[in-house]
Structure 1
Amino acid sequence: MNDDLQRLGLVDEDEIELDEAALVLAQLDHPDTDLAPYEELLDAIETRLDVVGQMAETASERAEVLAFVLGDEFGFAGDKDTYDHPDNADMIRVLDRRRGLPVSLSMLWVAAARRMGWDADLLDVPGHVLVLIGTEADPVIVDPFAGGVRVGAERIAALVHAFAEPDRAAVTQVSAMPNRAVLVRLLQNQASRAEKAGRGRRALEIYVRMTTIAPSTVHAWWERARLELVDGEVSAARSSLGAILEITRDPTAREKVSETLEALQGE
Structure 2
Amino acid sequence: MSSSVPSPTPSPLDDDLIRLGLVEDQEIVLDEAALALALLDRPEVDLDPYHRTLEEIADSLALAAGETMVAADQAEALSAVLAQEFGFLGDEETYDDPDNADLIRVMDRRRGLPVSLSILYVAAARRLGWHAQVLDVPGHVLVLIGMDEAPVIIDPFAGGARVGAERLAALLQAHSPAEEPVTQVSAMPNRAVLIRLLQNQASRAEQAGRGRRALTLYERMTAMAPEYAHAWWQRARLELVDGDVTTARSSLGTILEITREPKLRSRVSQMLEMLPPP
Instruction: Confirm or deny a common fold (TM above 0.5).
Output: yes
| Range 13-22 or range 41-50, more displaced | 41-50
1:162 Cα deviation after fit: 1.1
Partner of 2:118: 106
Structure 1 CA distance for aligned equivalents of residues 270 and 45 of structure 2 = 44
Contact kept in structure 2, 1:130 and 1:144, CA below 8 Å:
yes
Superposition TM-score, scaled by structure 2 size: 0.94
CA distance in 1 between partners of 2:67 and 2:266 (Å): 57
RMSD: 1.0
> How many aligned positions are there?
266
The answer on 1:243 being equivalent to 2:254 is: yes
Q: Given the alignment of the two structures, is residue 136 of structure 1 paired with residue 148 of structure 2, yes or no? A: yes
- Higher RCO (Cα < 8 Å, 6 or more apart): 2
Residues 225 and 236, structure 1, Cα contact 8 Å, conserved in 2? yes
Gaps in structure 2 of 5+ consecutive residues:
1-10
Aligned partners of 1:8 and 1:213 also within 8 Å: yes
Q: Which residue of 1 aligns with 2:208?
A: 197
Equivalent-residue separation in structure 1 for 2:27 and 2:253 (angstroms) = 29
Provide the rounded CA distance (Å) in 2 between the counterparts of 1:232 and 1:53: 55
Alignment of structure 1 residues 173-184 onto 2, 5 Å? 173-184=184-195
| Equivalent in the alignment of 1:22 | 34
How far is 1:68 from its partner? 0.7
1:33 paired with 2:45, answer yes
1:157-182 CA deviation, whole Å, 9 max, x = no partner?
11111112233x22121000010100
Match in the other structure for 2:6: none
Which of these residues, 56, 66, 76, is aligned with residue 68 of structure 2? 56
Task: Map residues 76-155 of structure 1 onto 2, 5 A cutoff.
Answer: 76-155=88-167
Q: Residue in 2 aligned with 1:253? A: 264
Per the TM alignment, residue 100 of structure 1 is displaced from its structure 2 partner at its CA by: 0.3
Read off the aligned partner of 1:227 and give its amino acid letter. Answer: L
Task: Letter of the 1:203 partner, please give it.
Answer: A
Inter-partner Cα distance in structure 1 for 2:232 and 2:109: 32
User: CA offsets per residue over residues 229-264 of structure 1, 9 Å max, x none?
Assistant: 000010010010011000001111111111111110
Cα distance per residue 1:88-115 (max 9 Å; x no partner): 0000000001110000000100000000
Letter in 2 for 1:224: R
Correspondence for 2:241 among 216, 226, 230: 230
Matched position secondary structure for 1:203: helix
Name which of 211, 216, 233 aligns with 2:227.
Answer: 216
Moved >3 Å (runs of 4+): none
Between 75-84 and 49-58, report the one with greater CA deviation.
49-58
Aligned to 1:69: 81
Q: Give 3-state SS (helix, strand or coil) of 1:29's partner.
A: coil
The answer as to whether partners of 1:207 and 1:220 remain within 8 angstroms in 2 is yes
CA distance in 2, matches of 1:31, 1:79: 25
What does the per-residue CA deviation read over 1:133-155, in whole Å, with 9 as the maximum and x for residues that have no partner?
00132200000100011101111
Percentage identity across aligned positions? 65
Deviation at 1:56, TM superposition (A): 2.4
Cα separation, 2, equivalents of 1:166 and 1:243: 33
Check whether the contact 1:113–1:120 (CA below 8 A) recurs between aligned residues: yes
The CA distance in 1 between the partners of 2:178 and 2:62, in whole Å, is 46
3-state SS of paired residue (2:136): strand
Between stretches 131-140 and 190-199, larger displacement belongs to 131-140
